[in-house]
Structure 1
Amino acid sequence: MTLLDTRQTAVVAKTGRDLPVAIIGAGPVGLAAAAELRERGVEAIVLEAGDSAGAAVAAWGHIRLFSPWELLIAPAARRLLESDGWTAPSAAAIPTGAELVEGYLAPLAAALASHIRTRSAVTAVTRTGMDRTRSAGRENASFTLRVVTPDGGTELTARAVIDASGTFFHPNGLASNGLEPLGAENVRDAISPAMPDVLGAHRERFAGRHTTVLGAGHSAANTLLNLAALAAEAPGTRVTWAIRNDGAVRIGSSEDDGLSARAAIGGRLQRLVDSGVIQLVRRFELSRLHRAEDGAVALAGTQAGEPVELRTDEVVAATGFRPDLGMLREIRLDLDEIVEAPRRLAPLIDPNVHSCGTVEPHGFAELRHPEKDFFVVGMKSYGRAPTFLLATGYEQVRSVAAYLDGDLESAARVQLRLPATGVCSTDVAGSCC
């Protein structure tokens, strides 16, 4: 396999079948895209910023998903793995993130090893030899990806790009206005990213201390449940949950939910709030953070419109995630101005209308941008909408792979059957996925 390095090779002005498709990210959807392209005989390379495939999933490996194994394995990936003698885990079992990596992503990465480059962070994508303002010959030009590796920087060339880099490492701001709160830099040591391992690797940080969790999604819910378990083991551990609205509408406990593990979370949280183990602060709008005289972190803002200040030892930022669009500044994108998803896709995933299970099937046509042969897929394609799930991403990349292979009939034939209650795993990126 050859991925042209423009430090050593003349600039390729035209796309061609001799150039590979570059896939950014070796998570579940990125690897599924690689499996689809491999099955079609289309050369591809996967560029992963982490030390290994599934690095983002490994970061929340202690969290158990909602969905059983049968809903977490991409069809093309299954065919590839089974051809090597792999046996899928029990279809009905529900894995943790670590088990998803060990039982599926690691074997899949091994099967695709010749296509994957780890410790290769893509920092920018552009058309070879032209910025976003240049139009002449644009559709026929190859893509250049700037990549940072432990050995330094390089530029790689591809005929098409599939951005499956996700959103997990790009959280939303903590303040209600979408920005980082004023003064956050002065208490950075007390702010934890979403889903810390409070019962394992990060136990000492939270045991016997007061933690305030900000956010109303399932990443907040999982952390709250684990903090409550810690409080039962470690005296002095206190838990506060601050949300902007009257209730956490994304955390339900409906008996109609097709995923009992997901429905159970809402009921468990409610019981912990009712019993006083978790103190719920409703309608809290954060604007400023500072260190109080007693050493505590002060969260200043309003509650129901009135000025208020909460005191805590630790803050967990579980306010969701957003796409990294900075790396795409030279690419011509057509994004919805609200959720930052592809404009054709945005109405289908509007979180005010849709849950995970009511999103319509969609593929290359809805994911297209003005930049020919460039696609954003997976969680990143949903922008800030918290309704993504893996099965949706798998169908996205099946359609995109067919399109890039010239099989327009298959690319246009998108199918996805989901229960109306939603089929979600966990709120890894601020949503179902």
Structure 2
Amino acid sequence: MIIAGVVLLASQTAVSCDEETSAVRLGNAEVATIDEIVEAPGTVTARTAATLTAPAAGTLGELHAEPGQRVRKGDVLAVIDSPDLTRRRDAAREALAQLPSGSPAGIGGISEFTAVRRRTDEQAAKAFEQARESAAAIADPQVRKALLDQVGAAEAGYRTASSASAAALRSVQSGVASLGRAMGSLSAAQRLQAEQAYELADAAVDALTLRAPVDGVVQLGGPAQPASGGSLAGLLAGGQAPAVAGGAVAGVDPAVPEGGYLAAGTPVVTVVDTGRLGLTAEVDETDVLLVGDGIGADIELDAAPGAVFTAKVRSVDLLPTTSARGGVSYQVRLDLGPLEKGSPTPRPGMSAIIRLKVRQAADAITVPASAIVSTGGRESVWTVRAGRYEAVPVRLGVQGEDTVQITSGVNAGERVVIAGADQVTAGAEAP
């Protein structure tokens, strides 16, 4: 833990009573506002970084975005040409068109009815499996969920129709119903299967059109794995998960040109939402209990020395991570405050030093940290009372690097030894 204190408001001016012949220096206890600071390394984060990938093998048919272009949610960024998905949709359309309008033809008995029903179930299972595989390859979580939900709903609907045809068959076998009536139920199941197969294949083709899932700035390709490791999730401020997990955005994979081949899952374009920049701080376990929501922080960026940035704690992770120093630490997530006029705009991934103001005492009695000495196993301050030195036990409050709060033992305005305490003797006359 690195502690730094900042005195924001002083009601009195320190007085130095240094003598040229003595190393003892005197000052005054002051009334001030003091901050206790926990310093931690951190990283600038983006709100969301969504990488869109090819949902199936094919070629990049159209590219509608340029690097650095600002886009809106729903904008078409690219279109993938996938012969496999297109053929599957065309075949499903043809199979639907070829279905007879009435009951299945050529069924002369229960055994043939059973064979046709089994074949219909197998075709349905294959269509659902293909549709689920196509949906699972979609990077956009909302699109992927919508397609998987569509597959699930279609599968449930077909199970109902298949169960109805099975019940009709049992009725025929028990002599309750005619084969013609059962064939009507089977026909309904066949048509439903064919319609669902086409609709699911058509939805998979529609998913080949990649749309921006969020407002943001375009970066072609996807997140590249840096030599130092890390994760794309580490560059996010939280609240929204990335569309695709990957390495930290230290660069991007080479962009695929129009007409270039794409394997399923190949990153095509990344949209980075910088509408709300944040930071993550790596706070040591010895300090994390001091950190709470709403705590303010001052930020220094390696890339912008001298620039002033502020932030506020949004949340503290419950689960620990292993810090860069090998110990246990916790991720603290902050929202970056408004930028001052003329300040550079941070970029996701930039390194930062985050100074968290974990405790503050306003109108506190403070003395320089150098005034605190240990006598008899407890903290004390050498004061000047009635013109002579006296060691006074004190109780400490908020502790900064340069100043310390005194909650009892010393009053504001009292003269105290701030240097050379080892040369002071109790009862000796003070200058």
Q: TM-score range by the shorter chain?
A: under 0.3
Larger radius of gyration: 2
Q: What's the TM-score, normalizing by structure 2?
A: 0.19
Higher relative contact order (CA 8 A, sep 6+): 2
**Structure (1 or 2) with the greater strand fraction:** 2
Q: What's the TM-score, normalizing by structure 1?
A: 0.19
